[in-house]
Amino acid sequence: MDRFLHSDLFYDFVRSPIAVISFVLVSTLILLAVFANFIAPTNPFDPASLNLMNGFTAPLEPNAFTGEVFLMGTDDQGRDLFSAILFGLRVSLFVGLMAVALATGIGVFLGLLAGYIGGWLDSLIMRLADIQMTFPSILIAMLIYGVARGVLPPALRDEMAISVLILSIGLSEWVSIARTVRSSTLVEKEKEYVAAARLIGLNHFRIMLRHILPNVLSPVLVIATITLALAIIAEATLSFLGVGAPPTKPSLGTLIRVGQDFLFSGEWWILLFPAITLLLLALSVNLFGDWLRDTLNPRLK
Amino acid sequence: MVEKLLELKHISVTFKTRRGSFKAVDDLSLDLKEGEILGIVGESGAGKSITGAAILGLIPSPGKLSSGTISFKGQRIDLNPKLMRGSKISMIFQDPLVSLNPLRRIGDQLIETIQTHSPCSSAEAFKRAIKSLEEVGIDPSRFDAYPHTFSGGMRQRVVIALALAPGPAVIVADEPTTSLDVSNQDQVLKLLKKLCKEKKTSVILVTHDMGVIFQTTDRVAVLYGGRLVEIGVTREVLKNPTHSYTQSLVQSTPKIEVGSFKKPTDQLDGFQPKIDEQSKALVAEKLTREFDLSPAWFFRKLSFQKQKRVLAVDSVSFSINKGETYGLVGDSGSGKSTIAKMVVGLLKPSSGAITFNGKNLNGSDLSHRESQKIRQRIQMVFQSPYASLNPRWKIGDILLEPIRVFGLSSSIEDEHKRIFELLDQVGLSKSDVQKYPHEFSGGQRQRISIARALASKPDVIICDEPTSALDVSIQAQVLNLLRELQREFSLTYLFITHDLAVVSSMANNIGVLNKGRLIEEQSSEMLFSKPQHEHTKMLLAAAPILDI
Amino acid sequence: MILIVLRRLIQSIVVLFLVALISFLIFRFVGNPVDNLLGQEATVQQRADLEEALGLNQPIYEQYISFVWNALRFDFGNSYRGALPVAELISSRLPATLELALVSALFAVFVGVTTGVYTAIRRNSFLSKLILSVSLIGVSLPTFLIGVLLIWIFAVELRWLPSFGRGEVIQIGWWSTGFLTVTGLKSLILPGITLGLYQLTLIMRLTRSEMLEVLNQDYIRFVRALGLSDRKVHFNHALPNTLVPVITIAGLQLGSIVAFAIITETVFQWPGVGLLFINSVYFVDIPVMSAYLLLVGGLFVIINLIVDLLYLAIDPRIRDNQLMGEA
């Protein structure tokens, strides 16, 4: 910890307004999501607590029938939008983080193997990567989703939706991480400290894990952050299209889908607030990832 | 006739970084006369490249010329450097492999440069371009070739042709031959010297190599820490340096010397007396290594290509006596690194044997235990101080690893004792245990590498170009350390290098490699006084040696 | 050189077969075709008859081969919803997607490359910084959100442009085009921008970073030292070197426009193959899904091949390198 506080990275961090702001923003959103239960004034998914008469209330204006005031208004069912957004944020973040974790796990593992062992294993993994890269990840995610839906009995489809989402997004994003790890591994493999380790008789797995892995992780950090932004957007997109988080457990994307329907009738808030939240989330993650990439760029040393 | 062609008056170049400003060049003044070759010499960080770049206004950002003036023929040029570029002052850079636009044919680039400075018809430009190529010794039939089809040395000639094409009065050459091997280096320097004298072009030659300075320049300026320390006629400065830094620089530069410190060997004119096997630490017999670079079988058949096999090492045999140093010299591509890797076990020979203390190292069925025992006794020091230590590990852990893996100590206190001992032996302190490699200088990192090699108390250490990446003064220190350690621990060294001066001060016996073959093997003395093979003679002639 | 071309060609064909395989596996094994076509109420005999008719009893590889053979003749079976031939469904909607894709691609490339070059050459100008900030937002905005916001501003509030559909369309033989009518062209604007914006930001940032990288190279320094004007340095030397990687990556990206069209078409209810696909996923209409996959996959493989060959044609270093069993 001490080393971190004195590191170049931290030094640059506290001097960069963008880094600090985006970090604070992301952290705030994460905290909001984690503590949604405590912060949200209502539970928007408990049918019992809903009052249809509350429907279509504008933000901060008292409802014509019940007189209740809602921070961000209500939707057609009378759900408090603020609460819905908090829980939606939770879903979006959860799926995003889990998907990135999955993609990173697969990517680092395969990338290390491909780079270090080389030969036919490398060719195989890279061919696989190439083929998958031919198709946009959204498409792959949709495909996996579609197949999973076809395979699962209708009853389970909604319940498993989140897991399927994580699986499909995670599987569609491993390639760029694997490529990065592989190319870093190829570079590190040729460095003399690896030869020195071999000279001591260490076996290959030990070298991969203890010597090479720590040195390939920093580009992974950058890519993982950027992939997180991609995953969040991918999840939102899939949910918007109707093949992601279901209305029973909506994410920000699902809420926006609902919001679009009400644009023409003038209930603009149903669209706007989830949209702004999504934008803030993706933007702050992207900003942070961009800053991280620029700072960790060895070219500037 | 203007006496001072180029004049730098009190220039300073400042870099503003996040941590504050840093003066790369500090109050430097020098001048260049017409038709002379002025050398700027110094170690890394002395500011010599920056000075060269400043003349053309090409200081890399965030650096700026913060004070002083630069004048050409009496006129100030630092305010508007673009006007001078090419037509009056040209520059060539160090690495020929990246100095040429890979997507442009060299003929095209020549024509473009010519027409930029003196607009003329394409036919006229073409003629002049051909002439440029001929002047630098490139066959005009290669006019339409792309840069990647040329070797490094040839590319540097193209670079010279391009720089000279507009007919400048001054060329700034920034380490133009550092990336080339010895024979190419010699040719390119001779070419530069010849053309510049012919065309009465002045040259500012920036380099760290004293030998190059000695052989090529008329006057020399010595830089240290961004300041001018001494300037004068080359021979004078090198023979009788007045400033202490110059003195130490000249002293540290390896010259051909056959040290009297070494154990006397009773040899007569290259004849090796029969010494029984036991006192030979390492013996290599007909070591051969082939690399198969053929395209995959399928594609070979499709396009009727042949198998492509490269014989990197061809039946090399040598032996090293205990406690002595055997030097292996050769240019890049001669196979020396491959031999090193085979001796140490990183590569398997295609055929031949390596014997250590009588035991055959390549016996096919060595158990892991047996291999480990051998590894303990043969260790290696690598060339790059930056790549040979894992940047994420603390020094203490780096030194601890071999001790732990070989099971050389019985307790934690024992381990710590041993690590401190090692650090002490290489001249570092106990507190360094907690630090990371990037906190040390290049020379210090090589010491750590040496400490790591010593950790298992080996008998033989392979030194693979251990000082090639270091500044001259540091090099001398590290070589001294190696010699001391050899004395103290009766170590046997296999010392690999391309630098003849360095090997002369380190080795008892020397083997010369060329294209994978051992073409000559003699004691140090004999090799330098009576070289036998043509190639050896060529290497000796081409090497830029400080020969005062 | 021929070696390399041949190698790529063979690789592409292999990938095509793989795509066909995946497509076939989905087609055959996801869900039950018999159930889907007959519903739950069918008798055992009806099922057996249908199985026979669909050839479901033959060995797998035979089924695969007939699948591929049919595909080559554009016979993809019938959709589960409405029993229309899939081929017909796709072909009637293809022109819509292709026209949209073309408009967005042109938009993305022209604006992307020019702004990319500008922000690289004039790094510190205010305009550059502005463009970069906006681009960051562009990358953070999901395509669908851009579409929705554009609809809100331009269709709902300002009422300048239509909010859904293609407008009037003119039929020319098999192709239906929106280029020849005013409403058709107006309808193309918002979806075109939406679809192209993401690609535009990517291309812009890519061009910029490649150009900056190139401008840092020694050979650019050298050419400057030779006295060439800034304009010549930027456009004769830096730009061609920048465009080489940009073309390849951008080419691949543009291929994916067809897939991203799915999103835009959904937002704007644009009657293209994307909308068709998403509906088929939602309703688990397997034949349509697998046919779409096959076609789009095939398209991608071909685009990849073209881009690779283009790269080969442009960079002389690769042409002369005999690849030796590279990974």
Give the CA distances from residue C132 to residues C100, C136, C156, in Å, rounded to whole numbers and listed in that order.
Answer: 26, 6, 29
Q: Which of B74-88, B413-427, C313-327 has the lowest mean pLDDT?
A: C313-327
Q: Is the dihedral of CA A132, A133, A139, A144 positive or negative?
A: positive
Q: Is A90 on the interface with B (CB under 8 A)?
A: no
pLDDT of residue B454: 93
Can you tell me the distance from the alpha carbon of B134 to that of B138, in angstroms, rounded to the nearest whole number? 5
Give the CA distances from residue B428 to residues B403, B425, B431, B450, B458, in Å, rounded to whole numbers and listed in that order.
Answer: 18, 8, 9, 11, 20
Cross-chain Cβ contact C266/A241 below 8 Å = yes
| B130-147 residue pLDDT tens | 998 998 888 888 888 888
Q: How many CB atoms lie within 10 A of CB B497?
A: 24
| Nearest CA-CA partner of B13 in B80, B72, B75, B58 | B58
pLDDT of residue C309: 82
Q: Which of A147-151, B35-39, B471-475 has the highest mean pLDDT?
A: B35-39
Residues 6+ apart with CB under 8 A from B318: B283, B284, B326, B328, B511, B518, B521
Cross-chain Cβ contact B346/A214 below 8 Å = no
Measure in Å the smallest separation between the Cα of C172 and chain A Cα atoms: 31
Q: Looking at the predicted structure, is the pLDDT value of residue C302 above 70?
A: yes
Q: Looking at the predicted structure, is the pLDDT value of residue B229 above 80?
A: yes
Q: What is the mean pLDDT of residues C200-204?
A: 88
Tell me which of C214, C219, C234, C244 to substitute to probe the interface with B (most B C-beta atoms closer than 10 Å).
C219
Can you tell me the distance from the alpha carbon of C169 to that of C177, in angstroms, rounded to the nearest whole number? 5
Angle at A168 between CA A165 and CA A173, to 5 degrees: 120
Q: How many CB atoms lie within 10 A of CB B274?
A: 4
For chain B, the chains sharing at least 3 beta-carbon pairs closer than 8 angstroms are A, C
pLDDT of residue C23: 81
Residue in chain C nearest A182 by alpha carbon: C327
Q: What pTM, to 2 d.p., does this model score?
A: 0.80
pLDDT of residue C25: 80
Of B98, B112, B299, Cβ closest to residue C7: B299
Residues of chain A where predicted confidence (pLDDT) is lower than 50: 300-301
Residue in chain A nearest B376 by alpha carbon: A200
Q: What is the mean pLDDT of residues B510-520?
A: 89
Can you tell me the distance from the alpha carbon of B179 to that of B157, in angstroms, rounded to the nearest whole number? 13
- What type of residue sits at position A100? V
Task: Supply φ then ψ for residue B312, to 5 degrees.
Answer: -75, -35
- C154: helix, coil or strand? helix
Q: Looking at the predicted structure, is the pLDDT value of residue B471 above 70?
A: yes
| B197-217 residue pLDDT tens | 888 889 999 998 888 898 899
Q: For residue B86, list chain C residues with Cβ-Cβ distance below 8 A.
A: 225-228
Cross-chain Cβ contact C225/B166 below 8 Å = no
Q: Which of A161-170, B96-105, B264-273, B343-352 has the lowest mean pLDDT?
A: B264-273
Q: Which of A190-194, B73-77, B194-198, C280-284 has the lowest mean pLDDT?
A: C280-284
pLDDT of residue B423: 92
Calculate what percentage of chain B has a pLDDT beyond 70: 91
Mean pLDDT of all residues in chain B? 85
Q: Which of B460-464, C160-164, C171-175 has the highest mean pLDDT?
A: B460-464
Q: For residue B345, list chain A residues with Cβ-Cβ distance below 8 A.
A: 199
Write down the H helix ranges in A118-268: 119-134, 137-151, 154-189, 192-199, 204-206, 213-241, 252-261
pLDDT of residue B366: 72
pLDDT of residue C117: 92
Q: At B54, which helix (H) or strand (E)? A: helix B48-56
| B250-300 residue pLDDT tens | 888 877 765 444 443 433 334 444 444 457 778 888 888 888 766 665 555
Q: Is A215 on the interface with B (CB under 8 A)?
A: yes
pLDDT of residue B295: 61
Q: For residue B85, list chain C residues with Cβ-Cβ distance below 8 A.
A: 224-227
| Nearest CA-CA partner of B187 in B85, B96, B113, B100 | B96
Q: At B100, which helix (H) or strand (E)? A: none
Cross-chain Cβ contact C256/A278 below 8 Å = no
Window A:192-211, CB contacts with B under 8 Å: 192-193, 195-202, 211
Q: What is the mean pLDDT of residues C4-27?
A: 82
Of C3, C240, C323, Cβ closest to residue B103: C240
Question: What are B280's strand-pairing partners?
Answer: B321
| C72-103 residue pLDDT tens | 777 777 777 777 788 888 888 888 898 899 89
User: Which H, E and C letters describe B461-513, residue by residue?
Assistant: EEEECCCCCCCHHHHHHHHHHHHHHHHHHCCEEEEEECCHHHHHHHCCEEEEE
The model's confidence at residue B494, banded by pLDDT at 50, 70 and 90, is very high
Cross-chain Cβ contact C263/A236 below 8 Å = no
